[in-house]
């Protein structure tokens, strides 16, 4: 009986260690989505939207350190089971920024014009991934 109690304690500690290390692996920067970003902040945060324009948000504990960056969209191809390049938008930001929003502007339309599952990347000036996330786009009915 004592052996069983010790085994349970070890198992619980192991599970707690596993989950705490997993949580740290997902810390920052975080990429997520909203309908719009304005004077009152984010509206409509989700990971599922209808076709059209959405805003990509990136949040970090420390300055992200980027100046020239891109948001790249890759669309899931059901036939191949892989993500294919869809489109890419360039942006200029301040290196000191910790909280950045990427939305439609004169050079980047940020239009998710077809339904599907998209992998969205924030890329640095050398096209290396800073952070990424998935979003599902459904048709408007």
Question: Is 28-138 assigned to CATH 2.60.40.1930?
Answer: yes
CA distances from 115 to 45, 53, 90 (A): 18, 12, 22
Label residue 104 by pLDDT band (50, 70, 90). confident
Distance, in Å, from the CA atom of 22 to the CA atom of 40, rounded to the nearest integer, reads 33
Distance from chain centroid for Cα 25 = 14
| Domain locations along the chain | 28-138
Strand-pair category, 30-34 with 111-112: unpaired
- The yes-or-no verdict on residue 13 having pLDDT over 80 is no
Label residue 106 by pLDDT band (50, 70, 90). confident
> Looking at residue 117, what is its pLDDT?
97
Q: Indicate the average pLDDT of the chain.
A: 85
């Amino acid at each position: 009986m004592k052996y069983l109690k010790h085994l349970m304690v070890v198992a619980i500690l192991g599970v707690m260690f596993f989950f705490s290390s997993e949580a740290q692996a997902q810390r920052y920067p975080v990429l997520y989505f909203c309908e719009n970003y304005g004077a009152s902040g984010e509206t409509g945060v989700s990971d599922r939207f209808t076709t059209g324009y959405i805003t990509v948000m990136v949040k970090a504990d420390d300055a992200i350190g980027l100046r020239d960056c891109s948001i790249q969209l890759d669309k899931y191809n059901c036939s191949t089971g892989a993500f294919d390049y869809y489109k890419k938008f360039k942006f200029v930001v301040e290196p000191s920024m910790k909280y950045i929003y990427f939305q439609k502007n004169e050079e980047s339309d940020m239009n998710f014009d077809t339904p599907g599952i998209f992998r969205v990347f924030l890329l640095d000036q050398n096209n290396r991934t800073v952070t990424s996330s998935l979003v599902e786009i459904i048709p408007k009915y």
